[in-house]
Amino acid sequence: MRVSKINDLERKSSFGIWGLIALLIIFFDQLTKWAILKWIPLYGKIPINRFINITHQENRGAAFSFLADASGWQRWFFITLAVSISSVIVVWLWRLRMTGQTVLSLGLSLVLGGAIGNVVDRVILGHVIDFIQIFINGWPFPTFNVADSSITVGAILLIVDSLFLSEKNAKYL
């Protein structure tokens, strides 16, 4: 009976850890965006080196400003999409708490935190604040933020898990 209670506690705490990671992403994303709004005027730039600028951009679209020029419907579309995906991820993380699939859980937590971070912007501001501008061979890469970075790293972890780990873990489930 005691082992059962310990296992239940471990399962709940692992879910809590993944939730905490998502909350930390949301916190740091919103903190950095607050700093940008406070100290850098729209389209202002602070050069860090020849490869990186800190800037203040507004993105009404999705990645690479996809649908940014739409008439406004995209805001609610992206909010609905992100909330729906976030709900699925929370349920998925809850189910994963018993499996010990760390890479998959971490990837999902990073995607969750990033998605919610950008949803907060869309709900409050009507657009997402982007501020990290990188230059590759002198050409600017699309500007992004902490949430976007988290989503990207999370997606990479999901791909790694899918290609190299999930099949091995499925044998033990």
How far apart, in Å, do the first and last CA atoms of the chain sit?
Answer: 22
Helix (H) or strand (E) holding 120: helix 102-125
DSSP 41: -
**Residue 126 vs residues 6, 51, 74, 167: alpha-carbon distances, Å:** 45, 29, 10, 41
* Closest CA relative to residue 155, chosen from 116, 110, 120: 110
Which of the four pLDDT bands, split at 50, 70 and 90, describes residue 168?
low
Residue span of the structural domain in which 91 resides: 2-170
Whether residue 130 lies in the annotated active site: yes
Determine the pLDDT at residue 74: 75
The residue from 29, 121, 148, 161 that is catalytic is 148
Tell me the mean pLDDT in the region 44-52.
95
The residue from 29, 69, 121, 130 that is catalytic is 130
Distance (Å, rounded) from C-alpha 34 to C-alpha 49? 23
- Give the count of domains, the chain: 1
Whether residue 29 lies in the annotated active site: no
Report yes or no: 10 and 24 within 8 Å, Cβ to Cβ. no
* Closest CA relative to residue 30, chosen from 116, 141, 109: 116
pLDDT cut 70: percent of the chain above it:
82
**Residue 13 vs residues 75, 94, 96, 161: alpha-carbon distances, Å:** 35, 11, 12, 22
**Residue 106 vs residues 15, 21, 125, 142, 162: alpha-carbon distances, Å:** 11, 8, 28, 25, 13
Task: Looking at mean pLDDT, say which of 1-15, 62-76, 114-128 comes out highest.
Answer: 114-128
Q: What are phi and psi of 55, to 5 degrees?
A: -135, 180
Indicate the average pLDDT of the chain. 87
Which of the four pLDDT bands, split at 50, 70 and 90, describes residue 7?
low
Indicate if the pLDDT at residue 146 is higher than 90: yes
The residue that leads in pLDDT, 67 or 108, is: 108
